[in-house]
Amino acid sequence: MAKYKKQRKRFDEINVIPFIDIMLVLLVMVLTTATFIKQGIIPVDLPEAKAAEKEKVEKEVTVYVNAKGEMFFEKEQVDLKQLEEKLSSISKEQTVVLRSDKESKFQDFVSVMDILKRLKHEQLYIITKE
């Protein structure tokens, strides 16, 4: 009688077909949700109202501090007291953009931030270069 040797199959390959199927499903889900994100909202048809008021969208205000320590509120040169008066006259929800020169004194930056904190302005952007 001849002896038959049992051959064992080596596991050299991984079946990638199920992996590709899962990745395609995930891709479809991402692309579907990305269209909603791009629009910002899920599209809905809103009801109409006769007495509705449009919300007044206010633009942001910009405070500049140059290298000499001069401060500007929307291109108008001001000192700290005038800056505080102007900032107190705007809404707390309005965005304040601070553009401070890198060569300006840190104290000028701190003074502006102190005014904003005292007036409870929380919508603040500090602009920097990349």
Domains detected in the chain: 61-126 (3.30.420.270)
Q: Residue 12: which pLDDT band, with cuts at 50, 70 and 90?
A: confident
- Residue 22 confidence (pLDDT) above 90: yes
Q: What is the pLDDT of residues 111-122, one digit of tens each?
A: 888 888 888 888
Element holding 63 (H helix, E strand): strand 61-65
Q: What is the pLDDT of residue 66?
A: 84
Q: 72: which 2 tokens? A: 């500007």
Q: What is the pLDDT of residue 20?
A: 92
Q: Is residue 53 scored above 70 in pLDDT?
A: no
Residue percentage of the chain with pLDDT more than 70: 71
Phi-psi region of 89 (alpha: psi -120 to 50; beta: other; left: phi over 0): alpha
**All residues at 6 or more sequence positions from 71 whose CB lies less than 8 Å from its CB, including other chains:** 63, 64, 65, 77, 78, 79, 80, 83, 108, 112
